[in-house]
Amino acid sequence: MTVPAIEAARPQRCVIHVGGIVQGVGFRPFVYALATRLGLGGFICNRADGVIIEIEGAPSQLDSFLKEMDLHCPPAARIEQIQVARVPPRGEMAFSIGASDASMQPEERFFSPDVGTCDACLEELFDASDRRYRYPFINCSQCGPRFTIVRNAPYDRERTTMAAFAMCGPCRAEYDDPQNRRFHAQPIACSACGPKLAARDSEGRELVVDALLFFEELLLASRIIAVKGIGGYHLTCDASSETATRRLRDRKHREEKAFAVMVADIAAARRLCDISATEADLLSSARRPIVLLRRRADAPVAESVAPGNPLLGVMLPYSPLHHLLARSAGRPLVLTSGNRSDEPIAFEDGDALMRLKGIADGFLTHDRAIHLRCDDSVVRETSNAPALIRRSRGYAPEPLRLPAPCRPRVLALGGHIKNTFALGRGKHAFLSHHIGDLGEWEAYKSFRNAIGHYQALFAFEPEVIAHDLHPLYSTTEYARERASQPGVRLIGVQHHHAHMASCMAEHGLSGPAIGVTFDGTGYGSDGSLWGGEFLVGDYRKFHRAAHLRPIPLPGGERAIREPWRMAVACLLDCGEEPEKLRSSVRTEDIRIVRHMIEKRLHSPLTSSAGRLFDAVAALLGVRGDTTFEGQAAMELEWLAESSNAPDGYPFEIVDGADSRALLVDTRPLFKALVDAVPRGDRATIARRFHNTLAEIVDVVVGRLSDATGIEDVVLTGGVFQNALLLEMTRRKLETRGLAVYTHTRVPANDGGLAFGQLAVAAQAEDA
């Protein structure tokens, strides 16, 4: 017989501190509702470094409270830490929301990324009886613009671009009511008091028409419309119309690089692509990235949307305006950044009207200012986790954890292309939104402005500035300029060491590790161009343990845009006649490039793996000239996917000149390719080339691991965005019993460089 408990467990009281992104995301109303439901007493209030909850009740209910708070917190909240301390109970029975402590310690500032429209708001948007029916700027404390409208900290309406709008009575009542889901929703608005849509013609003149009808009319006429979104202007058109898509390509001077499309919902996305459960989650997550999906043969999109591409970038609507557009269109829409070729996305109205004039046949704009430009993020599912290719809207500036606390405050400037920068403070890294290719003046300006903005928001003055070693990068120039400020020291971080550190830091590895860093090119410690490197080391030090055989890059930058030049270089390198090149290149051009290489004119050596892909693509006649970065390698990957040839081509591993490094001799590979190309099937050859690279990595890493005893391997650099190469390599290395780490939350390409620079500088001996 069991003895019944004589007294119910006595109430207990706890003080809970929750740190992270818990302000501006509906956290307090959520906690209020949870505590009330569980019959607990106490209060919650915002504090400098998160929220403080005092809570009192039966121990079992307190346990449930903690569990549910962590499990079911609002989707946009990011809990970084929870600390619980017991205090004496006070007999408090009711729960309340206390006044905020407005003092914000700069050390603890966090900002929420922009959040896609939540289900509750979406329901109201299409509910004819709701007062915000079809209102394009509906939002609540759990969704809506955040980071792109913040002018300054702390995040309150008067310091956002919503300050220009005075709340009407009903909005104010919702804003002030702790039980309302719009309690303290800073961008709260309605058609009576909030931003309004406007339609403008191709000349930018405002039209007195229904803006959404205007959009529909232009769309049906295969016209191009510029639409002001959350982080900037998009150019949009009917993705099922070849006429419209071609027109957009011609006007935007974007020849072949794929456009992303937006559809109303998952069901519509499934008509375009085959979608896994993970991909469906990514598409419908509140972050709303562009997800690269395998396109269906019968997908109702025009060929020009993504020419020759087996993948399609798909996005679901992320703002109420986009929901309205997608539903009224009832067909896939092209949604591409509002710019001309490689310029940064337009986000200011005057600038957009000027720059997009001649491209757009009409403008759909509004009067809520965008304070910070922010491109869409791009993500792709890989065998172990979704991998970010571009980390921007919906992700930035969420903190990433550093493997060890950053002692000095570090600003890491990133690379020259796909630029992002990062701030490091304590255990957190704040990786910026996508800035772009700094070769463009507009992008460089945007880089400088964005650094100023982040420094002000996070109240951050760097003590260390980490930069790439390349002496000619504009980021390096910027670092030198800032070095004249008192108290600022520079730390140069080798490009591939940064890539390696970025992947290690993402997985919290402390090292040592073997870093396979395959990319386009980066400035090596010896002043030559690297890009096919095997590094061994940790954050503090590394050595180049092996690398691909260096080959001339005839014409430097030009050889990157014209892969046929690399093919000529590789053929000459292995003693073959470059005239064997199967392509439309003129003999005269080949002769000139041959001369450059033989006389070593403007032909720096590079060990780049990316350039090998270029050479093979050109040799195969897949692509001799490119219109965007990485195009040749991508097309080679698509071709290789259609073959399942198991074997590779020969290569040799020899001791290099400085005897510390192994050298991968690729000449046997190219000799074999020259033999194979005239007779062989192109897909088989492309596949066998991929197999060879995977085998090279496997054999070299195997040797390095045997020699050093290191079993952690990171695969990083832009070349590892190649899913086929990545998966084959991973399998081989795992079969050896090694632990393989690849990028998921930070891009493998140069978009992840700043994070790696930060991880290195945070632990540098002289830091």
Half-sphere exposure of 166 toward its Cβ, with a 13 Å CA cutoff?
1
Name 682's Cβ contacts closer than 8 Å, sequence gap at least 6.
620, 621, 622, 639
25 lies in the site for Zn ion, by CB under 5 A:
no
Q: What's the closest the beta carbon of residue 122 comes to Zn ion, in angstroms?
A: 8
- Binding segment for Zn ion (CB under 5 A), chosen from 138-146, 292-300, 337-345, 527-535, is 138-146
Q: Which does 121 bind (CB under 5 to 8 A by kind): Zn ion, Fe ion, none?
A: Zn ion
Kindly state whether residue 122 participates in binding Zn ion, applying the rule CB under 5 A: no
* Residue 317 CB, nearest approach to Zn ion (Å): 13
Contacts of residue 742, defined as CB under 8 A and 6 or more positions apart, other chains included, come to: 382, 384, 387, 503, 714, 715, 716, 720, 726, 730, 748
DSSP state of 143: B
d(CA 152, CA 663): 52
User: Which of Zn ion, Fe ion, none does residue 163 bind to, with CB < 5 to 8 Å depending on kind?
Assistant: none
Q: Which does 519 bind (CB under 5 to 8 A by kind): Fe ion, Zn ion, none?
A: Fe ion
Q: 118 contacts which partner out of Fe ion, Zn ion, none, CB within 5 to 8 A by kind?
A: Zn ion
Asked, as a colleague might, if the bond just before 154 is cis with ω within 30 of 0, I would say yes
- The stretch near Fe ion (CB under 5 A) out of 5-13, 223-231, 551-559, 744-752 is 744-752
Of 171, 402, 581, 636, which one interacts with Zn ion (CB under 5 A)? Answer: 171
Q: Cα separation of 531 and 568, whole Å?
A: 19
Between 193 and 653, whose beta carbon lies closer to Zn ion? 193
CA atoms within 13 A on the CB side of 760: 31
Q: How far is the CB of 706 from Fe ion (least distance, A)?
A: 28
For residues 124 and 133, the answer to whether their CB atoms sit within 8 Å is yes
| Tokens at 539, concatenated | 């954050």
Shortest spacing between CB 479 and Fe ion, in angstroms: 18
190 sits near Zn ion (criterion: CB under 5 A): yes
Q: What is the 3-state secondary structure (H, E, C) of 74-135?
A: CCCCEEEEEEEEEECCCCCCCEEECCCCCCCCHHHCCCCCCECCCHHHHHHHCCCCCCCCCC
- Please state, in angstroms and as integers, the Cα–Cα distance from residue 85 to each residue in 17, 80, 283, 399, following that order: 9, 17, 39, 25
Candidates 47-55, 141-149, 291-299, 680-688: pick the segment binding Zn ion (CB under 5 A). Answer: 141-149
Asked if residue 700 lies in contact with residue 534, where contact means CB atoms within 8 angstroms, the answer is yes
Residue 118 sits in the site that holds Zn ion (CB under 5 A): yes
Name the minimum Å distance from CB 192 to Zn ion.
5
Rounded least distance, CB 176 to Zn ion, Å: 13
Rounded least distance, CB 640 to Zn ion, Å: 44
Nearer to Zn ion, 45 or 168 (CB): 168
What does 750 interact with, of Zn ion, Fe ion, none (CB < 5 to 8 A by kind)? Fe ion
In the complex, what is the shortest distance from the CB of residue 118 to Zn ion, in angstroms, rounded to a whole number? 3
The nearer residue to Zn ion, 131 or 541, going by C-beta atoms, is 131
β 739-741/712-716 pair status = parallel
Rounded CA separation 550/666 (Å)? 9
**What are the distances in angstroms from CA 455 to CA 411, 421, 491, 523?**
9, 11, 19, 28
Nearer to Zn ion, 168 or 661 (CB): 168
Q: Single out the residue of 151, 155, 141 nearest to residue 185, CA to CA.
A: 141
Q: Which of 121, 264, 372, 590 binds Zn ion (CB under 5 A)?
A: 121
**For Zn ion, which is the closer residue by CB, 172 or 401?**
172
Residue 66 interacting entry, from Fe ion, Zn ion, none, C-beta within 5 to 8 Å by type: none
Which residues on adjacent β-strands are paired with residue 529? 523, 606
User: From the list 750, 755, 758, 764, which residue makes contact with Fe ion (rule: CB under 5 A)?
Assistant: 750
Chain position whose Cβ is nearest to Fe ion: 519
Options 126-134, 164-172, 321-329, 533-541: segment touching Zn ion (CB under 5 A): 164-172
Rank residues 522 and 648 by Cβ distance to Fe ion and give the closer one.
Answer: 522
Segment lying near Zn ion (by CB under 5 A), choices 10-18, 110-118, 563-571, 756-764: 110-118
- Least CB distance to Fe ion at residue 717 (A): 5
Smallest gap from residue 731 Cβ to Fe ion (A): 24
- The answer to whether residue 140 forms part of the interface with Zn ion (CB under 5 A) is yes
- Work out whether 286 is an interface residue with Zn ion (CB under 5 A): no
At closest approach, how far in Å is the CB of 113 from Fe ion? 25
Segment lying near Fe ion (by CB under 5 A), choices 53-61, 200-208, 426-434, 519-527: 519-527
- Eight-state DSSP code of residue 407: E
For the CB of residue 263, give the shortest distance to Zn ion in the complex, in Å: 21
For the bound state, the minimum distance from the C-beta of residue 120 to Zn ion, rounded and expressed in Å, comes to: 5
Pairing of strands 542-548, 662-665: parallel
Instruction: Work out how close the CB of 154 gets to Zn ion at its nearest, in angstroms, rounded to a whole number.
Output: 21
Complex with Zn ion: residue 319 or 763, whichever CB lies closer: 319
Give the Cα separation of 143 and 112 in Å (integer).
10
Contact status, residue 150 vs residue 457, Cβ threshold 8 Å? yes
Nearest-angstrom CA–CA distance, 406 and 757: 12
- 3-state SS string for 232-295: CEEEEEECCCHHHHHHHHHHHCCCCCCCEEECCCHHHHHHHEECCHHHHHHHHCCCCCEEEEEE
- For residue 492, how many other CB atoms are within 10 A of its CB? 18
- Of Zn ion, Fe ion, none, which one does residue 411 interact with (CB within 5 to 8 Å by kind)? none
Among Fe ion, Zn ion, none, what binds residue 581 when CB lies within 5 to 8 Å by partner kind? none
Q: Is 230 in the site for Zn ion (CB under 5 A)?
A: no
Q: Toward Fe ion, which CB reaches closer, 521 or 763?
A: 521
Residue 692, classed as helix, strand or coil, is helix
x/- map, 62-91, Fe ion, by CB under 5 A: ------------------------------
Q: Which does 211 bind (CB under 5 to 8 A by kind): Zn ion, Fe ion, none?
A: none
Report the candidate in 560, 575, 546, 582 with the shortest Cα–Cα distance to residue 698.
546
Torsion of CA 579, 585, 591, 596, to 10 degrees: -110
The token duo for 701 is 């890493």
Handedness of CA 425, 427, 430, 436 (dihedral sign): positive
In the chain, the amino acid numbered 355 is R
Please choose, out of 462-470, 517-525, 562-570, 722-730, the segment that lies near Fe ion by the rule CB under 5 A.
517-525
Cα distance between residue 460 and residue 475, in whole Å: 19
Site stretch for Zn ion (CB under 5 A), options 116-124, 278-286, 371-379, 402-410: 116-124
User: SS3 letters for 517-555?
Assistant: EEEEEEECCCCCEEEEEEEEECCCCEEEEEEECCEECCC
Question: E strands along 367-507, which residues?
Answer: 378-381, 386-390, 399-412, 422-431, 464-468, 489-493
Over its C-alpha atoms, the chain yields an Rg (Å, rounded) of 28
Region of 117-125, 396-404, 477-485, 747-755 interacting with Fe ion (CB under 5 A): 747-755
> Which of Fe ion, Zn ion, none is residue 492 near (CB under 5 to 8 Å by kind)?
none
Considering only the stretches 114-122, 219-227, 321-329, 434-442, report the one whose residues sit in contact with Zn ion under the rule CB under 5 A.
Answer: 114-122
Q: Report the nearest approach of Fe ion to the CB of residue 610 (Å).
A: 9
Number of residues that bind Zn ion (CB under 5 A): 9
One of 519, 562, 635, 712 touching Fe ion (CB under 5 A):
519
Chain residues in the site for Fe ion (CB under 5 A) = 519, 522, 750
Binding site for Zn ion (CB under 5 A): 118, 121, 140, 143, 168, 171, 190, 192-193
